[in-house]
Amino acid sequence: MSTTTADLSADPGLRAAEEAHHRKMRRLAWRRRLLPVAGIGGFIGLWAFIVWFWEVPRFVAPSPQLVLATLFERWDVLLANLVPTAIEAFAGFTLGNLAAIAVATVFVHRKTAEEAFFPVVVLINTIPVVAKAPILVLLMGNGMEPKIAIAALICFFPTLVNMVRGLESVNPQAMELMRVLSASEREIFFKLRLRNALPYLFSALKIAASTAVIGAIVGEWIGSTYGIGALIIQSMYNFDSPMLYATVIVGSAFSVLFFAVIVAAERYFIRWQPANNA
């Protein structure tokens, strides 16, 4: 048998096939990296062409070059306004998700609480963000608090739903095992349910990372004088389209960064494959 394997590894046909496979893999890896770059580049090129060809006026839409220049020239203003938005988004993200995890824990252990309060949660979730914002501004004044509250509210619902699913969708035989081992509710929660819920939680956190930023920005639309949201409104009223676009880019760049941090945390914390048959 061992001679057969030795013969195989010396076989030139096999080596050629292996090399062809590696070449194909390398090509695919480059494709994966280059295609998105080409897509974004093409999109910006098309944008520049349209603005140039139809001579779109500056107050309607800027050229990409102008936006880039604005990004560099007004970097200080943009950064000064990003900081409060980032703080609001981060604080709202933390509060909203912690609250969702706490409520999910209660729901899983007290079915009565879930049946009584879940409809209330659904009801609050049906109110659009743009409608929640004025209500919260009236309630909490014009500081950071209402923006944090909006960001928190917007994160709360997806995390709650996912977390309840994750805590409940435990392998029934693993639950029986815990019974056989006389495990307490507390042990079942920390050793089984919580770990089981982690992949579900991270799916929700990835959604929440971008929606928290949206929440903070929408909050700043209502009578705020600082932040990315306020800057967007001001630029629009001033017909300052390069500044408007630059602000939007800064806001989305922050969202992408936030999302990437959550993805990195997910890779760090979840090293197993959430296979159900394990």
Q: Does 179 participate in binding other proteins (rule CB under 8 A)?
A: yes
Tell the smallest beta-carbon distance from residue 152 to other proteins (Å).
29
Q: Does 265 participate in binding other proteins (rule CB under 8 A)?
A: no
Dihedral sign from CA coordinates of 85, 91, 95, 101: positive
Cα–Cα distance between 221 and 203 in angstroms, integer?
28
Cα–Cα distance between 180 and 175 in angstroms, integer?
9
Q: Does 37 participate in binding other proteins (rule CB under 8 A)?
A: no
Q: Does 69 participate in binding other proteins (rule CB under 8 A)?
A: no
Cα–Cα distance between 247 and 228 in angstroms, integer?
6
Q: Does 6 participate in binding other proteins (rule CB under 8 A)?
A: no
CA distances from 227 to 27, 85, 89, 155, 230 (A): 44, 5, 11, 20, 5
Dihedral sign from CA coordinates of 235, 241, 246, 247: positive
Give the range of 38-46, 87-95, 129-137, 270-278 binding other proteins by CB under 8 A.
270-278
Q: Which is nearer to other proteins, 61 or 191 (CB)?
A: 191
Scan residues 186-225 and list those touching other proteins (CB under 8 A). 187-188, 191-192, 195, 198
Can you tell me which of 36, 182, 237, 268 binds other proteins, judged by CB under 8 A? 182
Q: Which is nearer to other proteins, 10 or 180 (CB)?
A: 180
Can you tell me which of 176, 185, 252, 264 binds other proteins, judged by CB under 8 A? 176
Q: Which is nearer to other proteins, 74 or 193 (CB)?
A: 193
CA distances from 215 to 6, 114, 259 (A): 63, 26, 15
Task: Tell me the site size for other proteins, rule CB under 8 A.
Answer: 26
Residue ranges binding other proteins (CB under 8 A) = 171, 173-174, 176-184, 187-188, 191-192, 195, 198, 270-275, 277-278
